[in-house]
Amino acid sequence: MQHPITQRINFLINHYSSGNVSAFSKSINQSKQSINRLFNIDTRSGQYPIPSNKIIESICQAYPEVNYTWLVTGEGLPFKTSDQTQPIARENTIGYGSTDWQTEAEYWRKEYISVHKKYTALLENKLEELFAIKREAGI
């Protein structure tokens, strides 16, 4: 199983680069290989690698809105709120998941609702277009 930080990095890759590892690596000034290796089992150790501090720092520099605490520990929300202007310094900290489940669950619930609304509206628009075409064709 991938390291929890790698799972959060994967979320950011999907969010910022639509899943394109190459584009994301360029955006954080890291090689594609250094990011790709996070998603593959190391043949020497038989485990997924842990993201380096250099990668974590690069992400937070390129995307200052990313919540450092969430990225490293899983605590809190992925993105800083408006009252958080500086990342919290946590040197060499590796975390294994969130302890603030209610806050994280609420964030994901809102994300789900937002995406659901967008796709529902898109579907309704496409259905309206289809019905308009049928009406024009006399079907």
pLDDT at 113: 80
**139 shares its domain with 129:** yes
Using N-to-C axis directions, what is the helix angle for 53-62 and 4-17, rounded to 10°? 30
Max intra-chain CA distance, the chain: 68
- Both 68 and 131 in one domain: the answer is no
Q: Alpha-carbon distance 126 to 124, whole Å? A: 5
**What would the DSSP string read from start to end of the chain?**
---HHHHHHHHHHHHHHTT-HHHHHHHTT--HHHHHGGGS--TTTSSPPPPPHHHHHHHHHH-TTB-HHHHHH--S-SB--TT--SPPP-TT----S-S-HHHHHHHHHHHHHHHHHHHHHHHHHHHHHHHHHHHHHT-
Q: What is the CA radius of gyration of the chain?
A: 20
Q: Are residues 75 and 110 in the same domain?
A: no
Question: For residue 65, what are the domain limits?
Answer: 4-98
Residue 139's pLDDT is: 79
Q: Same domain for 106 and 128?
A: yes
pLDDT at 27: 96
Query: Do 52 and 81 reside in the same domain of the chain?
Result: yes
Residues, the chain:
139
Residues 32 and 73 in one domain: yes
Identify the pLDDT of residue 83: 58
Predicted pLDDT at 95: 39
Contact 35, 55 (CB under 8 A): yes
Stretches in the chain below the pLDDT threshold 70: 82-107
